[in-house]
Copies of this chain bind each other. A is one copy, B any other.
Amino acid sequence: MQKKHNQVDIKLLESEILNGDIKSISKALTLIESNLPQYHNLGNELVNSLTKHKKNSLRIGITGVPGVGKSTFIEALGEHLLDQNHKIGILAIDPSSQKTKGSILGDKTRMENLSQNTNVFIRPTPSSGTLGGVAKATRESITILEAAGYDIILIETVGVGQSEISVGAMVDFFLLLMIPGAGDELQGIKRGIMEMADGIVINKAEGENEKKAMLAKNQLENALHLFPLPESSQATRVMLCSALHKKAIDKVWKGIQVHLNKNKKSNYFEHRRANQAVFWFKEAVKQELETSFFQNEIVKANWQNFEEDVANQKLSPFSAAKQIIEKQTPKQ
């Protein structure tokens, strides 16, 4: 009976989400972020139903080191998108953030205009959990928000960890935000991020900075020229803007649209989404296999010793792996 009752709930929740009901969206997000198995399973069931409702949405990832002006940029871009009658979902993926510290998105006062608009749904990073857990929650949040009619999803991440790879694997356009500097534009950006970007926006191209920004753009374009084309076959776009002065935000959006329309024409857009879904399927399988292994009590009790022996060359890595797996496997 319990099960039936739950199913009814989920069906109701689903239809309310499809109607864009804010409270139901929040409830659904809480379910998928929950660590309690019963809520979690309901969340899975819901997301699975919602997955089937195909929507014309765009998913934009935004990364950049702290200080680059991400929240100001998201606010400016968000306002521009609202002017064009879009409904916007804003998510963050940053497993390093904690409730007390507050991720940039958690600090809603910095996105005052957006957070008060009913056509915007802002959700900070879940305050706990591994990157894998946060990435899963973020990807499922996209499904929920899209089903609820949010047609542009902005996903923020800080450009200093592994989280960009996760964001890169869930968006249609990955944007790297930078500021003009003296040839060291990439300091603090993790290696490889620049190559994942579909576009780079140099922010703070304002006042005296404008020349430096132009120079940085040229330098970047020259450097990018040395790399092979991204999988989309489109060169990484380098654009300038001033989020603070809301200057050239329209051009940035136009650039993103041109890029995505080309991707749609070449079918790369659909191809990328299908590949991303399969990527997450495989990731989820691997994650689950690893989690249940590494949570095993026998493994936990023995891991440290094995790791030390391997680091000190007392044991070969492959023998160690074999031995710890044998320890964990129940004797037949």
Binding site for B on A (CB under 8 A): 44-45, 47-48, 51-52, 54, 136, 139-140, 143, 183-192, 194-195, 219-220, 222-223, 225-228, 230, 274-275, 277-281, 283-290, 293, 306-307, 310-322, 324-325
How far is the CB of A326 from the nearest CB of chain B, in Å? 10
Q: Which B residues are CB-close (under 8 A) to A307? A: 278, 281
Q: Which residue of B lies closest to A270 (CB)?
A: B311
Residue pair A286, B284 in contact (C-beta under 8 Å): no
Within 8 Å by CB of A277, from B139, B140, B313, lies B313
| Contact A290 B293, CB 8 Å, known A228-B187, A316-B48, A319-B48 | no
**Residues of B with C-beta under 8 A to A286:** 286, 290
Do A228 and B189 have beta carbons less than 8 Å apart?
A: yes
The interface residues of chain A, by DSSP majority, are classed as helix
CB-CB nearest 10 A-B residue pairs: A284-B321, A280-B317, A281-B317, A274-B311, A191-B195, A48-B319, A51-B316, A285-B321, A281-B310, A223-B223
**Docked pose: A188 CA to B228 CA in angstroms:** 7
How far is A316 from B183 in the complex, measured between Cα atoms in Å?
A: 43
Number of copies: 2
Given contacts A189-B228, A325-B289, contact A318 B44 (CB under 8 A): yes
Cβ–Cβ contact A320 & B228, under 8 A: no
CB-contact partner of A54 in B52, B222, B313, under 8 A: B313
- Determine how close the nearest CB of chain B comes to the CB of A110; give it in whole angstroms: 27
Interchain CA distance A230-B325 in the complex, whole Å: 34
CA distance A249 to B320 in the complex (A): 39
> Which of the residues B143, B223, B288, B312 comes within 8 Å of A322, measured between beta carbons?
B288
B residues less than 8 Å from A48 (CB atoms): 315-316, 319
Contact call B274/A183, Cβ cutoff below 8 A: no
Partner of A315, one of B51, B226, B315, B324: B51
Find out whether the CB atom of B44 lies under 8 angstroms from the CB atom of A225.
no
* Complex Cα spacing A221 to B274, Å: 38
With a cutoff of 8 Å between Cβ atoms, the chain B residues found around residue A316 in the complex are 44, 47-48, 51, 140, 143
How far is the CB of A314 from the nearest CB of chain B, in Å? 6
Given contacts A316-B47, A319-B47, A321-B284, contact A310 B277 (CB under 8 A): yes
Shortest CB–CB separation between residue A199 and chain B, in angstroms?
Answer: 16
